[in-house]
Amino acid sequence: MQKRKLGNSGLEVSALGLGCMGMSFSYGPPPDRNEMISVLRAAVERGITFFDTAEVYGPFTNEELVGEALSPIRDQVVIATKFGFRLKPDGAPGWLGLDSRPERIRQVAEASLKRLKIDVIDLFYQHRVDPEVPIEEVAGAVRELIQEGKVRHFGLSEAGVQTIRRAHAVQPVTAVQSEYSLWWRTPEQELLPALEELGIGFVPYSPLGKGFLTGKIDETTSFDSTDFRNLLPRFTPEARHANQAMVDLLGRIAERRYATPAQIALAWLLAQKPWIVPIPGTTKLSRLEENSGAVDIELTAADLRDIDIAASKIEVLGDRYPEELMKMTGR
Q: Which region holds residue 97: left if phi is over 0, alpha if psi is between -120 and 50, else beta?
A: left
CA dist., res. 120 & res. 244, Å (int): 43
Question: Going by CATH, does the domain composed of 3-326 fall within 3.40.228.10?
Answer: no
Beta strands, E only, 137-198: 151-157, 173-179
* pLDDT (0 to 100) of residue 261: 97
* 36: Cα separation from own chain's centroid: 18
Strands 151-157, 173-179: pairing is parallel
Q: Which of 27, 57, 180, 321 is catalytic?
A: 57
pLDDT, tens digit only, all 331 positions of the chain: 999 999 999 999 999 999 999 999 889 888 999 999 999 999 999 999 999 999 999 999 999 999 999 999 999 999 999 999 999 988 888 899 999 999 999 999 999 999 999 999 999 999 999 999 999 999 999 999 999 999 999 999 999 999 999 999 999 999 999 999 999 999 999 999 999 999 999 999 999 999 999 999 999 999 999 999 999 999 999 999 999 999 999 999 999 999 999 999 999 999 999 999 999 999 999 999 999 999 999 999 999 999 999 999 999 999 999 999 999 999 9
Kindly tell me the sign of the dihedral angle through the C-alpha atoms of 41, 1, 192, 214.
negative
* pLDDT (0 to 100) of residue 91: 83
Q: Which helix (H) or strand (E) holds 103?
A: helix 102-116
Q: Does 57 qualify as catalytic in the annotation?
A: yes
Tally of helices (H runs) and strands (E runs) in the chain:
11, 11
